[in-house]
Amino acid sequence: MNSSAIAVSEPTMLGIVRAARGRTQKELEAATGVPQAVLSKAEGGLVDLDDDRISALAHELDVPADLLRFPQPAGEPVHVFHRKRSALPVSKVNQFRAMIELSHVQTSALFKDQAPRVVISHKPLPDDAFETPQERAQELRRTMGLEPGPVKNMVQLLESCGVVVVRRDLGSNLIDALISWPDGRAPLVLIGDHAPGDRLRFTLAHELGHAVMHKVPSNRQEAEADQFASEFLMPADDIRHDLNNVSLARLAELKLKWRVSMAALLRRARDLGAISDFRYKQVNIDISTAGYRKSEPVEITQESPHAVAAAISTRIASGESIESIARDAMMTTEELRDAYVGSADVY
């Protein structure tokens, strides 16, 4: 195997692909024979790798060699937001960041000239609390032309507004979805395939809140995103009359209507003053006693994204092959099918 060419280069996608695959430099060294020190320099753009080493790494990472030579997207570092359900190891956070960066590159190529126009806008909340997350949610509902009442389909709504939604096995049950919105690109959400439909809808609304309200992480952003999501999915003026005298049976009925969890509905009732703190505690005890913390009754079907698969279908209908589309996106044909086509009828 030839040695690496000592030449200054721009950072490539090698480090992003490695992290997205959940691999360490030490593991790649053991699998390919490329020394960790060389990998580190290559990921930082300090050396170029020769064709033999690129080929070995591409084979181990199951990607086309061209992807490992592709320059990292220019611009500021991508800030990735996610609804925090539990503390995540740093290695997982880095993997998620790499996964969403790689998905930006892939989906941009897959859409080609079909990418929908982004109709939402990013406007950070002012530090002086002049505008609240609830007001921002109300404003966005009006911008989106939503009628009063429940949101019928969160995934479909996001895709109609130019947000790219991709379902993936995130490799962890500690996170349901994450979002990033780099300058000059469309916002992109990765959703896990493990979360129940009601929880995923709230998580998507939470991520939408991050997208339109936040630029960089802050101590208050999680609470703000939750407030945004509650108002976006359960507008106070529309739901208040539903929340009087809530019981387990009543919450189950409302879950079917509003398509959010019983726990979220109960919390909304308390926050809007529709029930007392004492009643809130009582019903929470009932929920725990019934075993609904782990699994609630009334299943809400998980919503599925379709925009990327539809773009691929359109390209195939125009005469392109699945192999050529995969090459455009610097993916293997198998990964394209698994990650973006799924069961969609695009052949």
Contact 331, 296 (CB under 8 A): no
Q: Name residues whose C-beta falls within 8 Å of residue 146's C-beta, 6 or more positions apart in sequence.
A: 157
pLDDT digits (tens, 9 = 90+) for 68-111: 999 887 654 555 666 655 567 888 888 988 999 999 999 999 99
Task: For residue 295, give both structure tokens.
Answer: 């699994």
- For residue 299, pLDDT over 60 is answered with yes
- For residue 183, pLDDT over 90 is answered with no
- For residue 173, pLDDT over 90 is answered with no
The pTM for the full model equals 0.89
Q: Where are the domains of the chain?
A: 1-72, 78-233
pLDDT the model gives residue 111: 95
pLDDT the model gives residue 344: 44
* Residue (of 167, 160, 217) closest to 192 by Cα position: 167
Three-class HEC string of the chain: CCCCECCCCCCECHHHHHHHCCCCHHHHHHHHCCCHHHHHHHHCCCCECCHHHHHHHHHHHCCCHHHHHCECCCCCCCCCEECCCCCCCHHHHHHHHHHHHHHHHHHHHHHCCCCCCCCCCCCCCCCCCCCCHHHHHHHHHHHCCCCCCCCCCHHHHHHHCCCEEEEECCCCCCCCEEEECCCCCCCEEEEECCCCHHHHHHHHHHHHHHHHHCCCCCCCHHHHHHHHHHHHHCCHHHHHHHCCCCCHHHHHHHHHHHCCCHHHHHHHHHHCCCCCHHHHHHHHHHHHHCCCCCCCCCCCCCCCCCHHHHHHHHHHHCCCCHHHHHHHCCCCHHHHHHHHHCCCCCC
Tell me the residue length of the chain. 347
pLDDT the model gives residue 342: 67
- Range of 5-19, 157-171, 174-188, 212-226 with top mean pLDDT: 157-171
Highest CATH level, class, for 1-72: mainly alpha
